[in-house]
Every structure is written in structure tokens, then in C-alpha cells.
Structure 1
């Protein structure tokens, strides 16, 4: 547990952010980060499992892509997610991806089941979200656990080279170059899904932003879009998660 302490803290914090945003409020959902060509850190289920909102660095374990422990003691008392193939399929197929988030956002699931396509309905309200939606959000049409290579390959085919895929009746997979970005993508997508449901419930029509307005939206840069946004998300959860003393020895 001495190795990759900073990364373990980051993933634990990201799990808490997902829960605080309502994207993974219970015990389901996980985040992974590639740390080498053979190893990844992934949120595992431990002996005192309480859910994603209470994730600590001790719940983040270093494993091989086949799900076995990468070092002695890494999985003592912890088990890898059943859906580890969801993570490894994306990480092994896409060099542009280092982090994968799997969550169960109710609003995204509901919007998809209602036949509401995620579209760039907002502009300056959420510029990164508008660009994400404008790029397209595909749907994997099977509401099953992604727990083997065959299903993971199907999901990956549906996802293509895009950053997010909706898993029908299940949740989402969000992939990015960083844990922070993968989580922020999921938050933006969930916000748009929630607004879409509100619009339809109010009797309105979900309409995409005009192309000329999308083209006018500026790129506010990574410092604002990712780093500042991430500091806000961490602050909403009460601050940085500290490793337990015994995990540092």
C-alpha cells in the first residue's frame, strides 16, 4: 500500500464525488486508473464496505489486467469488481485513455429508457458538457453486467472512440486521460439528462443548441474546466480524503 499513494487518494476522492453528485449513491460503481502497461489501480470492495461515498485510499488496489493482485497483500480482504472487464477492455484498446469511470446515474438511465437522446441543449450553462453532447453519446443496448470479455467487447464497439457510452438500463462508462476528467464528463452528462427530463416533464421539446451558438462557445482552458472544477467537487465532499495511518506503514 505504500506505492501510488497519491493516485489512491485521488481515486478514493473521485468515488466520493460520484456519490455526492448522486451518480453512484449506493455500493455499486467503480473507478480505475492505468499505472503501467500491466497494472491498474481500481476501486475494490473491502471487508467493511459502506459504499462509494465512504471510499478510502485503502479501497483502491493495485491489480493486473486479469484481476489478480499485483503485489503481495493487495487483495487480502478485498475483491475486484465483477465488471473489471469493463475497465480493462477500454484501457487496453485506447491509448488516449488512462482512467475509466463506471457509475449508475439514475437520470441518465431514465432519460435513455424514455427515449430521450442526450443532445447539446445547453450552451454557456456548461460549455464542456455542450461539447461532450455535441460529439455524440452512443448507447450500448444490453442491460447486463459487463463482466466478461465478450460483453466488454460489445460495449467497446458501441462506444467507439468517444469518451462516454450509456449502458441501457444500467449506467454509463466514462473514459478520459485523467480521473478528474472522466468524473467531470459523467457529471455533465447527468446534468444534461436531468434537464432533458425536466423539459419533457414540463411539456417542452428537447432541442439542440444552434450550430452557430455552439461554434461561438469558447474553450476556457484546462485550468478552469478541469482543475478549478475539480477543486469545487472535492470541496463539496468536505475535502481531501486522508489515508489511514496503518496504510502508510
Structure 2
């Protein structure tokens, strides 16, 4: 059984980072973490909800696969099946992030895939894009197990899936990893849109350049990067 205090705090922080990075404006979006074989912690809707930018530990609740157990007037998001089905099918995943980054949606609708268009600018992002970021082609609300299975099928063994006319889902071994992956996808989408607006065509960097991008390790890619995101929250006066 996972100790609930630390992951509740991490989910709340992750939601606030998504909002600060404009990946989940307003009240839409959610993060979950696997708690045990059948339950998960997830940002829920409640009587004190103020949007992702103001998510607190109290907004994060332990629920079963059917959504039961949140209590105190809190209810899980309508898209709970998106989380439960991915976690059930991907034992390597501890965290699922679902966000609505505008540039990711716009880039996909413009026909611009997520490609490794940058290298040392964002080494983890380049690796993520080179691994492939598939697209789920429906704009439906993922509120049933059947629809969630379709998204999980599209995600496959990848770390991110674009959801056409909807948003983005990323996965990881931690909240930090899954949120940072979402930030990288958003960054690549934004760069691709800027290239297209300047009259260019986004193209992947050569394989030989990809091969020269070292893995700088979790101490930098996750540790330092996540501390930076949390510091940005406090610098900006966010909770």
C-alpha cells in the first residue's frame, strides 16, 4: 500500500505546474497515481474547487476503479476510465496526466505531428518525440471503459498520446516524469507552430544528431527540472 500523503502532495503540485505552464487552464485536467492493485489517487471535483492552478492536497482523493470512495462531496473526474484503463494495462506506469494544452491541439489540427525537431534544446523531449507520439483521432470525452481502451490502444508502449480536438495524455514512473513529458510535448508543438507560421516545414533532426544526445541522468532531467518547476510556482506567487 502506497503512503498517501506524499503522492497527494505531488499530484496537487503537478496540477499547479500544469496550470502555470498553461497546459491545463481553468478547471479541466487531472493527474492520477497508482495507490495499490485496485485503487488510485486522483484530482477530484469538490465543493471547494478553484481550478488546477489552486489544487490542494484535499482535492486529491483515493478512489476505486468504479469511482467510489472519494467522500466529503468530492467526485472523480468524468474521465476516470482514462486513468484506470491505462494503469491496468501498463504495469510500468505509476502516473497518468491528462491536460488540454492549446498548442498541442492546434498543431495536430494543422497536420503537424510531434517530431524530434529539436535536439540539445530539450534532450528528454527529443527522445520522447523520437520514440513516437501517436494520435488518438477522436475528440470524445473519455468517460467509458471502451473509449479509454481506444486511447490506451493508441498510446501503446509510448509515453504520450495526442488526443485530437481534445488534449494530451502522458504517463510516467512519477508525477514529475509524466508532467515534464507533457511540458516537452507542448514545447515541441509550440516550436512546430512557430516554424510553420514563419513559412517553414518542421523536420526531425538527423538520426546522427539524435545519437549524439546523451541521457544526462535523472538528477538533471527529473530532479533539477522538477525543482525548477516548483520554484516557478512559488516565485509566481502560486500556492
Which one of 207, 218, 224 corresponds to residue 220 of structure 2? 224
Which one of 150, 154, 159 corresponds to residue 155 of structure 2? 159
The CA deviation string for residues 150-176 of structure 1, in whole angstroms up to 9 with x for no partner, is: 101111111111110000000011011
In structure 2, C-alpha distance between the alignment counterparts of 1:65 and 1:224, rounded to whole Å: 35
Is residue 179 of structure 2 the alignment partner of residue 193 of structure 1? no
In structure 2, C-alpha distance between the alignment counterparts of 1:219 and 1:175, rounded to whole Å: 19
Gaps of 5+ in 2: none
Q: What corresponds to 1:21 in structure 2? A: 21
SS in 2 for 1:238: helix
CA contact (8 A) 1:138 1:166 kept: yes
In structure 1, C-alpha distance between the alignment counterparts of 2:71 and 2:205, rounded to whole Å: 48
Give the ranges of 4+ consecutive aligned residues of structure 1 lying more than 3 Å apart after TM superposition. Answer: 239-242
What TM-score do the two structures reach when normalised by structure 2?
0.96
The CA deviation string for residues 49-95 of structure 1, in whole angstroms up to 9 with x for no partner, is: 110000000000011111110xxxx4211110000000001000011
Report the CA distance between 1:241 and its aligned residue: 8.8
Between the two structures, name the one with larger relative contact order (CA 8 Å, sep ≥ 6). Answer: 1
Q: What corresponds to 1:119 in structure 2? A: 115
1:1-249 alignment, distance < 5 Å: 4-69=4-69, 74-238=70-234
Report the CA distance between 1:101 and its aligned residue: 0.2
The CA deviation string for residues 168-222 of structure 1, in whole angstroms up to 9 with x for no partner, is: 0000110111111000000000000000000000001101101000000011000
In structure 2, C-alpha distance between the alignment counterparts of 1:127 and 1:40, rounded to whole Å: 31
What TM-score do the two structures reach when normalised by structure 1?
0.92
SS in 1 for 2:203: coil
3-12 or 192-201, which deviates more? 3-12
In structure 2, C-alpha distance between the alignment counterparts of 1:241 and 1:207, rounded to whole Å: 37
Report the CA distance between 1:105 and its aligned residue: 0.3
Report the CA distance between 1:38 and its aligned residue: 1.4
Figure out how many residues of one structure are paired with residues of the other and give that number: 236
Gaps of 5+ in 1: 243-249
